[in-house]
Amino acid sequence: MATYRHRMVEGAIKDFPAIKKDYDGYKLMLDARAMYCGCLWDESVDGGGTVTAGDRYLERYDDPVMRKLKSLMSGIYEPYCELEEKERRILALRYWQNMEVSDIARELGFSESNVYRYIGGALRRLYCSLLSVQPLLEDWRAGKLK
């Protein structure tokens, strides 16, 4: 039986590909906006004034939505990367490839109980790390991040 903690971490892990897609898309949009109207360096973006395309390109890292998406993405992925290789592989197969536990066990040569044990241990270790980004995750899910 999954606890609240496990369900919270499972949700974050399942949402990670969509968060990464939003981050990449938002970064591309900021890049395109920065390069709008010609050359990247030393041209005025708005036909005058002091803001050049190069300045706007560098300022995209100060965008509040970009910072929140980056914090959310790294808050999930960095703790995931600190897991053991077997745990990372099992979580990736389970939540990103949507494989059943029996299929994971067969592919990796484990018993199903070992797969469940690895999943449970990984989710327990990830819980404390993901608490710090839980508010950002909830805002992202509600569409309030932007």
Nearest to 10 by CA among 87, 94, 111, 112: 94
Kindly report the pTM of this predicted structure.
0.80
pLDDT digits (tens, 9 = 90+) for 50-94: 556 566 666 666 788 989 999 999 999 999 999 999 999 999 999
pLDDT digits (tens, 9 = 90+) for 11-31: 999 999 999 999 999 988 887
What DSSP line would sit under 92-111, residue for residue? IIIIIS---HHHHHHHHT--
**What's residue 37's pLDDT?**
54
Domains with residue ranges and CATH for the chain? 9-141 (1.10.10.10)
Better pLDDT: 95 or 48: 95
pLDDT at 2 over 90: no
Confidence band of 1 (pLDDT split at 50, 70, 90): very low
Place of tokens 């965008």: 63
